[in-house]
């Protein structure tokens, strides 16, 4: 009757190891590479997007890219 107990301990150990490895992999996959050149995460063709890049950081930590449509006095 000792070998079923050993199997249970072995299976439990493998499950714990799988959960640990899965948790580490999930943490690594969710890492944000951060901004690159001009604050962008990827290159943008200036011929396709000839606008200045503007960013605002929100209180929750999110960074938003926006397009400035003109002067503040525009109607």
Read off the pLDDT of residues 17-74 as tens digits, 9 standing for 90 and up. 777 777 676 666 666 656 666 677 778 888 988 888 888 888 988 888 888 777 767 6
Q: CA torsion sign, 54 to 37 to 48 to 30? A: negative
How big is the chain, counted in residues?
75
Decide if pLDDT at 1 tops 60: no
Decide if pLDDT at 11 tops 70: yes
At 54 the pLDDT is 85
At 73 the pLDDT is 74
More confident residue, 63 or 13: 63
Q: Per-domain residue ranges for the chain? A: 2-66
Number of helices (H), then strands (E), in the chain: 1, 2
> DSSP string of 14-59?
HHHHHHHHHHHHHHHHT------GGG-SS---TTT--S--EEEE-T
């Amino acid at each position: 009757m000792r070998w079923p107990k050993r199997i249970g301990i072995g299976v439990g150990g493998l499950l714990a190891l799988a959960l640990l490895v899965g948790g580490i992999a999930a943490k690594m996959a969710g890492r944000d590479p951060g901004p690159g050149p001009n604050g962008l995460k990827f290159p943008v063709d200036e011929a396709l997007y000839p606008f200045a890049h503007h960013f605002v950081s929100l209180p929750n930590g999110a960074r938003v890219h926006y397009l400035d449509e003109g002067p503040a006095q525009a109607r």
